[in-house]
Amino acid sequence: MKVLVLGAGQLARMMALAGAPLNIVISAYDVNTDTIVHPLTLQKLGTGLSNAIADAEVITAEFEHIPLPILEQCQQSGKFLPGSEAIQAGGDRRLEKALLARCGVASASYLVINNEADFKQAVSELGSPLIFKSALAGYDGKGQWRLKAPGQADAVWQQMADFLAADAKQAIVAEQFIGFNRELSLVGVRAGSGEVNVYPLTENHHVNGVLSVSLARPVNIMLQQQAEQMFAAIADNLNYVGVLAIEFFEVDGKLLVNEIAPRVHNSGHWTQQGADVCQFANHLRAVTGMPLGNTELLRPTLMINILGEDHVPAAILSIAGLHLHWYGKQKRPGRKMGHINLSADSLAELKARFARLIDLLPEAAFPELEQMLGRVSD
């Protein structure tokens, strides 16, 4: 089976690695250069979207910021899953908020800002603190502004006015700032038949808006049920096929959706070692019409992102239950270069292994890991 992935980054790479044992061959389409590449070597295989589509039995995507004409051409082929509507909803915060409202799913109160009058209305209606997010092309905390107190309104508006003036397609979504207890995410998979399998909720720690650590462990059943209901509402509404990730804020036992990602997700990388069937294999199973795989947690597992570094101390490989996943990318500050998965049969053992790992990793490149160490307990 031949699957074309829109995007040629690490998610396409990990789909290729998971697809090989299933006899699924992945090619990746780099939307920026209009080239078809091998997802592991990035060797050029051809050019042109039409050629890429013609050669594929199924088309899917590894990111959501894809130009509309490309999405439309893929949609017209009848091979595209989860399809253009889902990808657009993940890439435009206005569509995403409208989707959540349509599904009756709780999220932070918001208003869309196109001009200064909208901005003033947002500040008076939503109060402060507020967080402002670019409607398009926002990810990992990029394209965001914060208003801590009304006195900062003029200065914050000036920055946003310049941003809006530079791109007529942009808008800004103003959101109430949520004083959350924790950030969690749910990764799940929906088949064409409507069958859904979800992984356990994962607890996530971000540093400067970028995911640093995800922890998968046995979860609070009430929270898991809330998350699963929201997942089903959103996935059913989109008639979704494939892996979908939902990021949440937990506020006193209640979940609010922060955002959705219509694809395999960084907070699901732990499934490569901690779950029976990983998110990459499950996404490919869903989009190619194979039975979904078991999403049960096999053992508590942590995922630690490697950001802006192209090597780690070799000694970490001697820690039992540790698996290193490099993406083969050129080093750049802050860039997602790889990740470490660390598993154990018990939380106590995972904590001991994590403490050894923290001792071996340079703190400058892996800040705030100690904060997550405390979470790895019963």
Q: Output the smallest distance, CB 79 to ligand AMP, in A.
A: 30
C-beta closer to ligand AMP: residue 258 or 272: 258
- What is the 8-class DSSP label of residue 208? T
Give the strands of the sheet with 25-30, arranged side by side. 44-47, 35-37, 25-30, 2-6, 58-61
C-beta closer to ligand AMP: residue 292 or 302: 302
Q: Rounded CA gap, 17 and 19, in Å?
A: 6
Q: Output the smallest distance, CB 202 to ligand AMP, in A.
A: 13
Point out which residues bind ligand AMP (CB under 6 A): 108, 131, 133, 138, 141, 175, 177-178, 183, 206, 209, 247, 258-259
Q: How deeply is 232 buried, as exposed, middle or buried, from its count of CB atoms within 10 A (0-12, 13-18, 19+)?
A: middle
C-beta closer to ligand AMP: residue 72 or 125: 125
- Encoded amino acid at 228, one letter: E
C-beta closer to ligand AMP: residue 138 or 274: 138
CA-based nearest residue to 179, from 253, 259, 251, 257: 251
Q: Output the smallest distance, CB 308 to ligand AMP, in A.
A: 18
Report the 10 Å Cβ neighbour count for 221.
8
Q: Rounded CA gap, 38 and 33, in Å?
A: 14
Q: Output the smallest distance, CB 171 to ligand AMP, in A.
A: 15
Q: Rounded CA gap, 209 and 249, in Å?
A: 14
The two most distant CA atoms of the chain are separated, in Å, by: 60
Q: How far is CA 15 from CA 36, 187, 195, 211, 246, in A?
A: 16, 15, 21, 20, 19
> What pairs with residue 259 in β-bridges?
247
C-beta closer to ligand AMP: residue 262 or 321: 262
Report the 10 Å Cβ neighbour count for 349.
16
C-beta closer to ligand AMP: residue 191 or 227: 227
C-beta closer to ligand AMP: residue 142 or 331: 142
Q: Output the smallest distance, CB 144 to ligand AMP, in A.
A: 6
The residue whose Cβ lies closest to ligand AMP is 178
Q: Output the smallest distance, CB 135 to ligand AMP, in A.
A: 12
C-beta closer to ligand AMP: residue 49 or 227: 227
- Encoded amino acid at 38, one letter: H
Q: Output the smallest distance, CB 134 to ligand AMP, in A.
A: 10
C-beta closer to ligand AMP: residue 22 or 210: 210
What are the structure tokens assigned to 373, written together? 């160490």
Q: Are 13 and 328 in contact (CB under 8 A)?
A: yes
Q: What three-state secondary structure class fits 322?
A: strand
CA-based nearest residue to 235, from 193, 293, 292, 276: 193
Q: How deeply is 42 buried, as exposed, middle or buried, from its count of CB atoms within 10 A (0-12, 13-18, 19+)?
A: middle
